[in-house]
Structure 1
């Protein structure tokens, strides 16, 4: 690829230096820019085969820079990288036409492989002379309650971003309380149907005998108590998205009718004689193993394949415990605003304690815990003793188990050492101890995970951005 060219746009000189060396070693021509404005000035005269840009920069940011590049050269691939990764930036990047979205810190090999794929696409497009007309893609910036910086959530955000211009059916799986409906809402908000209705129905909450009426509606007099005609959820969601939660609890007879709607695009109301047509995107969710349900005869295999065009798995809270501080801040802030009271603040030891719990109720349990804290905690700063009794009991079990295995010996040794120092010595040693301990932890985690930053961050219970920042400070 010695004829290929890459432009790197980032206000961080260290990132520019690393990428310059990377592409020079790969014999790929590279040009560096410290701002999007400087790049655009050069862009009026020349253009590369690939642009790699940061999001947050002085002047024009990466998303608006992407839009400008797309306006002028829609076939030119752009890789977006950012140290401030969230779902909104991921979706905005994909909606804007980004080739890929890469959170910092990234693995060098991953960046090089990604750049080579983008260059192959760019050069192939140029050879075929397949330039398409420019399109302005609207960025749907509706707020979402999907929050997280963990690797698992970054993967989820990227999936939502890739689906932002699609109306394909999606099946969401995940444990109860993990946030499946929030994922469904985000899929709708960031889709071409965003201005149309989002209608949700929980299959487990509807009596079997009323399921057809809820979904498809009924005519007046169709059954006892049907004193007037009523639209079902399919009609209510026409043009938009119908979210069917706990799809595994849908009766087999209703599954047959749903399959017919998905196949033919029309249905009959209960008691109706004329077919009704609707345009609805189906997003379904379940906490069950539908493959097991199929084997047991509780779920239709053909319906499963109709729904499972795209599959999204939502991680449990325990699988993304590094997101607990961010989620807690959000839930505590919202609870305080709703109740018009002072916002509670979790002390560092309380946050560490929460991160070590099992959270069988997932995000919903954490949200309810934050509501409890907002009402019941006696002071603004929340200690471990201020937590709900059941969480204190669970944490005590974990702590006792750890102590039995001898895991607290180093804590006792450190405590005894610090207590033996004079006041002046103690102040000096405390200032040195925290960075020293963190340095040892980082070195050990990187060694355990073969130098892979993302895996090491997960082992430490940190986000990748946190680990990268601490590494720069060593």
Structure 2
């Protein structure tokens, strides 16, 4: 059982984290300052450390230097807010294997812990190097790029555009791996030692988007109880990834365009302009050219974010990669669930290849994780695979699938009628993912 040490002076948050990680099968201890952490580390030698950056007596950087002097090679993940991300990057140069922004996303934290522990197993017992600029090998994303022609072409383009400073627009359906590609562009760029900040534009209320991007000063609006550092300042020198950029309101699009043109931002409620240097990578599963024609997306912003376009192939277009990804996700599920499955039986392999995968890689990962949990033998069988893969694509799917803007609304209404307004089944019938369907319902004002 892996032991984890939490160093967190927010006692409530520390206890919540300790309880959650204990349920995940870890042996967890928690302390509230660096002095107690040092005593625990010397006595217990934990397998991994989760440390807040700022603590009452010292900070995480002080702890890293102390560990380096002692020759202690223990994976350490820094927990921090936007305002301290530059310090988190400094901590990584001193040996921290990763950082995670608060509020902590549990799934993301679990993934980072897994990656850090994997990195620990593959490294030697030599002391931590505190050479500035040294990259942490444990921070490499757990991802498979694939061997199909579509994958090779995609990553050829990624390798070409990454070293430049061009703004990149990634087009692709949900679940195809757009954020991984954005992160890969950052890793291969000259900004790789600087922050990578990802923002889901679809989840930000439009009234808070300006604050999220540019920050705000205390008292600038109701609820602004403290100053907030926005993503543009947090990512200064690095890369900002704006996922689902088509969801931004027209007003925020204007502010974003100005920030990109002038390389200056102004926090909400402030008269002070701040100069920023960021590289922008955006992603969308919408047709932004159609949005421009409708007047919902600015053409000048489109050209600013679209100096280079990457198209993400769907999983179905990557037939040679389907079984590669299936085995890759099986390996991940084995590790996360403590199982030792060998693979898939012949019928399952055939079903995986024949299925149309409307949810792409994300859908496959979820299906295989569930099947791994249910499997009783050494191989995943059709019994564990789930009903959605047992059902062949509807014969009427090709007739109802969205073709063009003029008939889209009619097709959507017909799919909803056939499925009794079941959005999940309607999306499957239309051969699109649920997120795309929700965007279309909003676009056409279809209220269920």
Secondary structure (helix, strand or coil) at the match of 2:199 reads strand
- Cα distance in structure 1, aligned partners of 2:144 and 2:252: 31
**Residue 198 of structure 1 is aligned with which of 196, 210, 213?**
196
**What displacement does 1:394 show?**
3.2
In the alignment, structure 1 residue 302 sits paired with structure 2 residue 285: no
CA contact (8 A) 1:146 1:183 kept: no
**Residue 378 of structure 2 is aligned with which of 377, 380, 394?**
380
**What displacement does 1:385 show?**
2.8
Q: Which residue of 2 aligns with 1:351?
A: 349
Q: Summarize deviations over 1:120-140 as a string: whole Å, max 9, x none.
A: xxxxxxxxxxxxxxxxxx999
- Cα distance in structure 2, aligned partners of 1:305 and 1:195: 28
Q: Which residue of 2 aligns with 1:232?
A: 230
**Residue 184 of structure 1 is aligned with which of 164, 179, 182?**
182
Q: Which residue of 2 aligns with 1:270?
A: 268
- Cα distance in structure 2, aligned partners of 1:232 and 1:349: 51
- Cα distance in structure 2, aligned partners of 1:316 and 1:327: 13
Secondary structure (helix, strand or coil) at the match of 2:207 reads helix
**Residue 145 of structure 2 is aligned with which of 144, 147, 152?**
147
Secondary structure (helix, strand or coil) at the match of 2:392 reads helix
CA contact (8 A) 2:341 2:380 kept: no
Q: Which residue of 2 aligns with 1:54?
A: none
In the alignment, structure 1 residue 209 sits paired with structure 2 residue 204: no
- Cα distance in structure 2, aligned partners of 1:349 and 1:139: 43
**Residue 315 of structure 1 is aligned with which of 313, 316, 321?**
313
TM-score (norm 1): 0.53
TM-score (norm 2): 0.56
Q: Summarize deviations over 1:11-49 as a string: whole Å, max 9, x none.
A: xxxxxxxxxxxxxxxxxxxxxxxxxxxxxxxxxxxxxxx
Larger radius of gyration: 1
CA contact (8 A) 1:215 1:232 kept: yes
**What displacement does 1:344 show?**
4.7
Cα-Cα RMSD: 2.0
Mind listing any 5+ residue stretches in structure 2 that lack a counterpart? 1-133, 399-448
> Is the alpha carbon distance of 1:343 and 1:151 closer, same or farther for their aligned partners in structure 2, counting shifts above 3 Å?
same
Secondary structure (helix, strand or coil) at the match of 2:347 reads helix
- Cα distance in structure 2, aligned partners of 1:164 and 1:287: 21
Q: Which residue of 1 aligns with 2:107?
A: none
Mind listing any 5+ residue stretches in structure 1 that lack a counterpart? 1-137, 402-474
CA contact (8 A) 1:349 1:384 kept: yes
Q: Summarize deviations over 1:179-205 as a string: whole Å, max 9, x none.
A: 111110111111111111110001110
Q: Which residue of 1 aligns with 2:326?
A: 328
Q: Number of paired residues?
A: 261
Q: Summarize deviations over 1:86-110 as a string: whole Å, max 9, x none.
A: xxxxxxxxxxxxxxxxxxxxxxxxx
